[in-house]
Amino acid sequence: MQYLTPGGWHRPDMETNCIGVCELDKTTRQCKGCFRYVDEIVGWRRLTDRQREDIMKRCWNEKKEYLEFFGDSYEDRR
């Protein structure tokens, strides 16, 4: 089920890996919080559940690698 909000269509059951640290890297255009690319963020609602799942898996792997290398600080990504 979805409903219209001032920000657009909302599906409460739609998963996302957003953690509220929304800042894009100027070079890669990748979010420093969720590791999604800007086109994935913008088109998130139009993707299928499978596409979102694949993106979240890729982002989790990238985040895991980043944290293993840099530690638990998002400040290093700024």
DSSP of 42-55, one letter per residue? HTGGGS-HHHHHHH
pLDDT of residue 61: 94
- Block residue for tokens 């963020």: 41
- Residue 32: exposed, middle, or buried by beta-carbon count in 10 A (0-12, 13-18, 19+)? middle
- Residue ranges of domains in the chain: 3-77
| pTM of this prediction exceeds 0.85 | no
DSSP code at position 44: G
Q: What is the pLDDT of residues 28-37, one digit of tens each?
A: 999 999 999 9
Per the DSSP assignment, residues forming a β-bridge with 17 are: none
> Is a pLDDT exceeding 60 seen at residue 77?
no
Please write the tens of the pLDDT for every residue from 50-64.
Answer: 999 999 999 999 999
Pick from 43, 24, 35: which is nearest to 14 by CA? Answer: 43
For residue 24, name the pLDDT band (cuts at 50, 70, 90).
Answer: very high
